[in-house]
Amino acid sequence: MKSIQAAILLTSLSFASANSAAQPLTESEVKILKQNVITYMSAWNVLDEGERVSMLEKATNLGFVYQDPSSAGYMLNNAQLVSNWIGGFQGQMSDYGLWPYDATLVSNIEVHGSVDSANIRFNWHITALGGAVSVAEGVDYGTASNLKLNSITGFFGALTPKCQSPDWQLGETYVSDSLVTFKDAIYQAKWWTQASPEEDTEVWVKLHDCTNSI
């Protein structure tokens, strides 16, 4: 009987421990994690290598991994390597005449999870020459533990929406405000027409590109 009670007690303690570890982040914990995201983002604007590495080390855990479409073939898995990558990016911007540049958060930092395992998401925008030139924009997804970043995976640009309007059909009559898909784009008719968006660019207004791929 005692062995059964002991087993139940151990099971209860294990469950309580696991449940405690999965408790949602508190408001103060979210604030600390968000500040580390801001510190990470700020490092992209720092020219001094020593300061940049120090900021990255402050905001990230050991073994932090960074990846974006341009770094897909490289393993950037510590603060020094990420700092080197940022320094190389800064050099490219300078060589292209896009200097000075500014990497800025342009959204709220979304945070979900617990202290042991959290997920984050935020949008960024890089401009140059005092905001006169838009260099790039995108969204970063990250993981974190103990309120510091474990990884950042970046994507450039906005996602392309699916082509959900019906395909343009030869011989079909379209009226004002009709929506069609034509050559991977959504078009809207200004008035009555049977012409395609390619045949009559006056009547059809291109709204945005789209994709039929999943």
pLDDT, tens digit (0-9, with 9 covering 90-100), for 38-67: 999 999 999 999 999 999 999 999 999 999
- In order of their start, the domains of the chain are 24-156 (3.10.450.50), 160-214 (2.10.10.20)
Task: Give the pLDDT of residue 2.
Answer: 47
Taking 80 as the threshold, does the pLDDT of residue 106 lie above it? yes
pTM value? 0.76
The predicted model gives 115-132 an average pLDDT of: 96
Q: What is d(CA 152, CA 75) in angstroms, rounded to the nearest whole number?
A: 12
Task: Give the pLDDT of residue 15.
Answer: 45
Summary count for the chain: helices (H), strands (E): 4, 9
CB 118 within 8 A of CB 25: yes
Phi-psi category of residue 149: left, alpha or beta, with phi > 0 → left and psi -120 to 50 → alpha: beta
Spatial CB neighbours of 159, under 8 Å, sequence gap ≥ 6: none
- Kindly indicate the confidence band of residue 16, based on its pLDDT and cuts at 50, 70 and 90: very low
- When comparing pLDDT for 131 and 5, which is higher? 131
Which amino acid, residue 192? W
pLDDT, tens digit (0-9, with 9 covering 90-100), for 153-192: 999 988 889 999 999 999 999 999 999 999 999 999 999 9
Which amino acid, residue 6? A
Q: Is omega for the bond preceding 100 within 30 degrees of 0, making it cis?
A: yes
Kindly list the distances between the CA atom of residue 207 and the CA atoms of 35, 179, 201, 202, 213, in Å, as whole numbers in the listed order: 38, 9, 13, 14, 19
Q: Kindly calculate the radius of gyration of the chain based on its CA atoms and give it in whole angstroms.
A: 25
DSSP per position, 12-45: HHHHHHHHHHTPBPPHHHHHHHHHHHHHHHHHTT
